[in-house]
Amino acid sequence: MRRIALWWLLALPLLPLIVPQALYTRRTALRLPPAAGLPYGEAGQDFAGQPLRLLLVGESTVAGVGVDNLQAALPGQLAEALAQRLRRPVQWRACGENGITAGQASQRLLPEALGEPVDLALLVFGVNDTTGLSSLQQWQKPLQLMAQLLVDGGAQVAFSAVPPLQHFRALPWLLRQVLGARGRILDRSLEKLADELGVQHCAVQLEFARDYLAADGYHPSGLGYRVWAEGLAAQLTLPRSAL
């Protein structure tokens, strides 16, 4: 709470500058659609063994904004990276929605996410809660609910870190610095929540250079998704059944 209060103390004097920037960016930003394709698939079909059941729940990156199909987005890329690491098939499901916050996802996406058994679940949130100025309670409470219900259902759960908005090229410099600072506050609280729940918090290991970003300068490109997925696959603690 102290960090949020300090953020507001620093951000309030800048509002006359950053509010016009935010409105202009919203009006002029390139808007890309979610990826096409079925929200499920399988990677590593040539490998033997029981498939690992992978679930991703989250915002636009789980919906695949920035690429043409979900195979090239985070769900398909992470499944492929895990299949190569484990040398076994990985069945993946994606429950994602462009523009959704954690609170909205706990209402709209969670029932679908809990509909089938899961071995490993990755929750991918933070950008929309940062830009939407969600309070810490609005941020933490739904994430705790989603993670706990998935754990209770037998899944190994991990949070993906809040992406560093200070590197989002689509945003003006001052706006992205202010939002980046708020994103770091949300991410610190996410790390604390992960520790309390006994689940994992995985860093976003991605260079936000031009080649790693889609045409909108906001979402990953196909290369960006692949590099992000490979970094996650190397960090994730896998269920014992997968080892």
pLDDT value, residue 206: 84
pLDDT digits (tens, 9 = 90+) for 175-234: 999 999 999 999 999 999 999 999 999 999 888 888 999 999 899 999 999 999 999 999
| Residue 53, token pair as written in the block | 């059941």
> Does residue 242 lie within any of the structural domains?
no
Instruction: Compute the distance between CA of residue 19 and CA of residue 46 in angstroms, rounded to an integer.
Output: 52
Q: Would you place residue 18 in the very low, low, confident or very high pLDDT band (cuts 50, 70, 90)?
A: confident
Strand order in the sheet with 200-202: 40-43, 90-96, 52-58, 120-124, 156-160, 200-202
pLDDT value, residue 210: 84
> Does residue 165 lie within any of the structural domains?
yes
pLDDT score of 138 more than 90 = yes
pLDDT digits (tens, 9 = 90+) for 68-99: 999 999 999 999 999 999 999 999 999 999 99
> Does residue 154 lie within any of the structural domains?
yes
Please give the residue range of the domain that contains residue 87.
2-237
> Does residue 225 lie within any of the structural domains?
yes
> Does residue 62 lie within any of the structural domains?
yes
> Does residue 47 lie within any of the structural domains?
yes
Sign of the dihedral through C-alpha 203, 184, 213, 110: positive
pTM to 2 decimals?
0.93
Q: Would you place residue 141 in the very low, low, confident or very high pLDDT band (cuts 50, 70, 90)?
A: very high
* Overall domain count for the chain: 1
pLDDT value, residue 183: 96
pLDDT digits (tens, 9 = 90+) for 95-117: 999 999 999 999 999 999 999 99
Instruction: Compute the distance between CA of residue 221 and CA of residue 227 in angstroms, rounded to an integer.
Output: 10
> Does residue 192 lie within any of the structural domains?
yes
> Does residue 243 lie within any of the structural domains?
no
CATH number of the domain that residue 134 is part of: 3.40.50.1110
pLDDT score of 243 more than 70 = no
